[in-house]
Chains A and B, each alone.
Chain A
Amino acid sequence: MNEGILLQGVTKTYSRGGEELRVLDNLDLTMDEGRFYALMGPSGSGKTTLLNLVGGLDLPDSGSVQVAGQDIRSLRGAALSAWRARSVGFVFQGFNLIPVLSALENVALPLALTPLSRKERRRHALAALDLVDLGDRAGHRPGQLSGGQEQRVAIARAIVTDPKVLLCDEPTGDLDRAAADQVLALLQRLNGEMKKTVLMVTHDAAAAARAQRIVHLDKGRLGSIEEVQAEQAAGAKP
């Protein structure tokens, strides 16, 4: 059983303005557990759609999607939500923190879905914030943080339930170079130390170079899978 991500014959079409748009076309793709993948491709190549399918935010028209041994198509509604809460963490380009909640409360939010006690939730959330080096910003609202800090809070929120898979959609898209580097280093660390499977959509080659493998998509089909040289990845470190 593959504990990574397994896509077989995945097809997804959208209709926009009456026009059928085949975003993913009979795609087969296997991603190993515990590796850091970057997903690249031109606009409209289906990167984000692929990410949404893996995260169970969207369902394929045909084909199967397996994540950490779970066939996503067999899940519906509440079961899918519960699986998502347990198994995947999301990091978005726009951070998507809840503006009216503090950093700590944002991080603790997914724990509301667990049976943990209030005290334990707080402890877990603080630990996650410490992990992203923002333990001292626990009481700040998102509006009081920098973009890089916001994204790190978002990453803390994504890992607080200890999911196997981390899905990142252009996580550095809204950040300057220095902040982006910090975020990428954090993702590398989570992959290396905590064995998270990371799947990161990006159009930035420098960001993609921080991954272990780069998956190239083109018009809904698999282009190539490129192994990143270890020294290249290491060399990009600041």
Chain B
Amino acid sequence: MSLLRLVPRQLLRHPLRTLLTIGSLTVAIFLLCILRSLVTTLDATATTARNDRLWVQSAVSLFVGMPAWYPDRIAQVDGVQSVARWQWFGGYYQDPSNFFAQFAVDPQKVVDMYPELIVVEGSADAFVAGRNCCMIGRGIANDFGWKVGDIAPITGALFPHPDGADKAWELEVAAIYEPGARNFDDRTLFFHWKLFEETLTTPEDSPGVGAMVVRVKDDVDPSVVMGAVDDLFMDGPQRVQTTTESEFQAQFVSMFGNIPFFVSAIGGGVLAAVLLACINTMLMAAREQRREVGVLKALGFSDARVGSVLLMQSLFLTLVGGGMGMLLAKGIEPGVVAATSSFMPGFLIERETYLMAFIITVLAGVVAGLLPAWSTRKLTVVAALGARD
């Protein structure tokens, strides 16, 4: 169909305008991909977690510990294989802005329960063996230049060292891990519960147990165990709340409140801006091509075929722009992963996001193309040819 030959020719008539329009679309589609991925990554954090691991926390508050005898009691519940203690340490390296997660844990149990922790330097055994040893994620190892054998000095904001608030807890790096699953970040430090417990001397400093991870036996229904654990402490001294790991992580996601909604709203703004840009370009193109539309109609081309020349131009612009936007997003993905890993591990642009971007691209092309195409329908040959370009 030789009319299609007109499409690239018309676009090349104003190469700069074509480039600018494609550029607008590129950045807009890029932005949409990134914005949507922020939201989907947040959701995925919660949905990809394992469900044979249960988390026991205080039902009162995230920040309240449970009595120290709770783990032993829970270990006696039917169906429970093992119980690991976790305590949020809340420290920092040198400056409070160097923020990352540290947990005091039962080392052997964590290594057993979390096959997702893949040790790439040092060894898990060395971590388990040394009382003042720690295991750190690749991300913090890179950030602070820590290697196996180094001492990581962590200032305890929540648990000051008994020798003075200025004194750091000195932990020897025995293993560096990389996450083997998307929901895991690479910016966590694990150290020995024993060291933690024994360093804190005064009773008022002792937090009890912050949280516990319960590994359920293979053939047991986790929900039964969850109910049994909650019931144990219904009358005190402190109620607990047992959830699957995914629910546990979901509570952090829900903390973002309306933020995902705002991100979507921003996406709407981006969409509106880019649609306007496309329509603007296509209306200009249609205005310039008015006379040619008249000629084609006079020659006997149908409205649909004449309109399709405009529609194709529009689709070409959006598809090239959208495609480049998606490529840009794909190319920049590793950078975003690195930039967001501290608060949002596993940033990923999902296939659905690309699909959505593609659909938006096509729709923008159709809308921006149909508008001028439709207006040429009503344009009579007489009027079109009378028009001075």
Contact = CB atoms under 8 A, between A and B. Distances in A.
B224 to A, nearest CB: 71
Among A52, A83, A108, chain B packs the most CB atoms within 10 A around the CB of A52
Nearest to A106: B295
A57 B380 contact: yes
Interface string B218-230: 0000000000000
B9 A84 contact: no
Nearest to A85: B300
Interface in A46-71: 52, 55, 57-58
Contacts of A121: 2
Contacts of B294: 96
Interface residues of B, number: 25
B300 A86 contact: yes
A194 interface: no
Contacts of A113: 299-301
B295 A100 contact: no
Given A52-B382, A57-B380, A57-B381, A96 B2 contact: no
A58 B9 CA distance: 30
Interface of B: 1-3, 5-6, 9-10, 12-13, 291-292, 294-303, 380-382, 385
Contacts of B1: 112
B5 A105 contact: yes
Interface in A82-116: 82-86, 90, 92, 94, 96-101, 105, 108-113
Interface of A: 52, 55, 57-58, 77-78, 81-86, 90, 92, 94, 96-101, 105, 108-113, 118, 121, 157
A85 B6 CA distance: 19
B385 A92 contact: yes
B2 A112 contact: yes
Contact of A85 (B5, B291, B299): B299
Contacts of A84: 298-300
A82 B381 CA distance: 15
A80 to B, nearest CB: 9
B2 A57 contact: no
A67 B102 CA distance: 90
